[in-house]
Every structure is written in structure tokens, then in C-alpha cells.
């Protein structure tokens, strides 16, 4: 499985866009990029995933570079409720495959 | 739908005691798994199951047993609790048939303390 590298922590002002980077330089052609987040003491929550095209849903946008070696999760208008640990995971999109979580990025949204 | 339900939410055990953490899902998901999360660390996979009657080990299976007699339930058993098993445990499930995205649905967690 491709390894991912994320900053340990980041701050973002409330109302501004939060841009969370993830490096996955060893990603394979059939591996997807997944993002989950974990708000304090809760179970992780799925956010978004993509293969090579940029993706957007009601929660966030995912920008994947053309060489697929890095990606950025964008929360367009961060709120205090977005304070959480964000996990970037790279995995083949085979339904039976397990997901392995690293330590993620702790995002703190500041009022 | 209730999603993934874990019980109990909190439990305190003494060293050597046994207990079972319950996990149930009502989404007819084929895949279920258990993770543990220790302070400052990410989630580590304990055991998983791709369907009723099928279980397999994850990254940290020692000291834990699982079974999957029904699609809905995936209990995690601690046979002889140790202080090193003090942790927060999360159960998760996902659909695998037809094959789709690795979108796990997690339970709210069970916080276990072993004295």
C-alpha cells in the first residue's frame, strides 16, 4: 500500500478555506485517495475520495495533482465544528480491502 | 437506520477478567471490522470479517477473539483483559457487494479501562 505523509497539525481561521495537504508519492495507478475525519472522541467519518479527477461533495473538495503524488482536501468555509483530525488514506478500491489509518492532521479552526 | 451500534460505551475491567464488546449494524453490510485507538495514535485494525462465518486477523489481533455468526453482529471478545488493552474501540462496516468504495461507517466507540 502507498504510504501517506501529512502535517501533524494546522490552524485555520473560521470562515476561511482550510487546505489540508497529503503526500503519497508511491501511489499506484489503481489506488484511490480517501479522506476521513475524526471529531473528538467520535468514530471517524468519511469525507470524500477520488482516483485522479478532482472531486467535490457537500462536505469538501479533493484536488489531486496530475502525477497523483499529492492531494489537497479543501474545506471551503471552515467552521468551529470542522475542528478534527483528518486522515488521508490511499487504498485500492476493492471493497474487501482494509483501511489503515495513520495519525492524520489535527486541524484547529480558530474563531 | 441506526447504522453501527456499539455497546457498552464505557467499561472498567480488572486484569484477567473477560468481556465482550458488542457491535451491530442494520445496513446489511458484508464487511465488519474492529479498530483500537490509543492516545495520540491512529486507529489500528484488530480483526475483520468479509461475511458471515469468515473472520481474519488485522494488525494487532493478540488477546482478542471475534466471530461472525450473522451478517448483523460482530462481537469482540477479550479473554483475559490486560492493562495494555485499555483503549477506545471502534467497530466499522461497509458494503462490499457489489464492489464499491471503501466507505466505512463507524460506531460511536467503546471506551475500555483495564485496571
C-alpha cell at A15: 470562515
Contacts of A96 in chain B (CB under 8 A): 31, 50, 96
Q: Which of A2, A25, A43 is nearest to B4 (CA)?
A: A43
State residue A17's pLDDT score: 97
For A82, the 3-state DSSP assignment is: helix
Out of A91, A96, A103, closest to residue B50 by CB: A96
Mean pLDDT of chain A, nearest integer: 92
Residue A98 phi/psi, 5° resolution?
A: -80, 155
Contact B99 A93 (CB under 8 A): yes
User: How many angstroms away from the CA of A14 is the closest CA of chain B?
Assistant: 25
Confidence of residue A12 (pLDDT cuts 50, 70, 90): very high
Whether residues A36 and B96 touch (CB distance < 8 A) is answered with no
Q: A–B: how many Cβ contacts below 8 A?
A: 67
User: Reading across the β-sheet that carries B4-7, which strands appear in turn?
Assistant: B4-7, B19-25, B76-78, B64-66
Q: A94 falls in which pLDDT band (50, 70, 90)? A: low
> Which residues in B19-51 are b (16+ Cβ under 10 Å) and which e?
ebbebbbeeebbbbbbbbbeeeebbbbbbbbbe
Residue A95's pLDDT band (cuts 50, 70, 90): low
Contacts of B108 in chain A (CB under 8 A): 42-43
- Average of pLDDT values for A25-43? 92
pLDDT in tens, B70-109: 999 999 999 999 999 999 999 999 988 776 677 899 999 9
Q: What are phi and psi of A21, to 5 degrees?
A: -90, 160
Put simply, the answer to whether B58 touches A102 (Cβ < 8 Å) is no
* 3-class DSSP assignment, residue B84: helix
Between A96, A102, A103, which is nearest B96 by CB? Answer: A96
CA A100, CA A88: separation in Å to the nearest integer? 10
How many Å apart are CA A49 and CA A37, to the nearest integer? Answer: 12
Whether the per-residue pLDDT at A92 is higher than 90: the answer is no
Q: How far apart are CA B21 and CA B43, in angstroms?
A: 17
Amino acid at each position: 500500500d502507498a504510504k501517506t505523509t501529512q502535517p501533524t497539525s494546522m490552524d485555520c481561521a473560521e470562515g476561511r478555506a482550510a487546505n489540508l495537504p497529503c503526500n503519497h508519492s508511491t501511489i499506484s495507478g489503481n489506488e484511490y485517495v480517501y479522506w476521513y475525519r475524526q471529531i473528538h472522541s467520535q468514530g471517524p467519518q468519511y469525507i470524500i475520495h477520488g482516483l485522479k479527477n478532482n472531486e467535490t461533495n457537500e462536505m469538501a473538495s479533493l484536488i489531486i495533482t496530475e502525477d497523483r503524488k499529492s492531494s489537497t482536501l479543501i474545506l471551503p468555509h471552515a467552521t468551529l465544528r470542522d475542528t478534527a483530525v483528518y486522515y488521508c488514506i490511499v487504498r485500492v478500491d476493492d471493497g474487501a480491502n482494509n483501511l489503515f489509518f495513520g495519525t492524520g492532521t489535527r486541524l484547529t479552526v480558530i474563531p | 437506520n441506526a447504522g453501527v451500534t456499539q455497546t457498552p460505551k464505557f467499561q472498567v475491567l480488572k486484569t484477567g477478567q473477560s468481556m465482550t464488546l458488542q457491535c451491530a449494524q442494520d445496513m446489511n453490510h458484508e464487511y465488519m471490522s474492529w479498530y483500537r485507538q490509543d492516545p495520540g495514535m491512529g486507529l489500528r485494525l484488530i480483526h475483520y470479517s468479509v461475511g458471515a462465518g469468515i473472520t481474519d486477523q488485522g494488525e494487532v489481533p493478540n488477546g482478542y477473539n471475534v466471530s461472525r455468526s450473522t451478517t448483523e453482529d460482530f462481537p469482540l471478545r477479550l479473554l483475559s483483559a490486560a492493562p495494555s488493552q485499555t483503549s477506545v474501540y471502534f467497530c466499522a462496516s461497509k458494503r462490499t457487494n457489489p464492489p464499491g468504495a471503501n466507505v466505512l461507517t463507524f460506531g460511536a466507540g467503546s471506551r475500555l479501562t483495564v485496571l
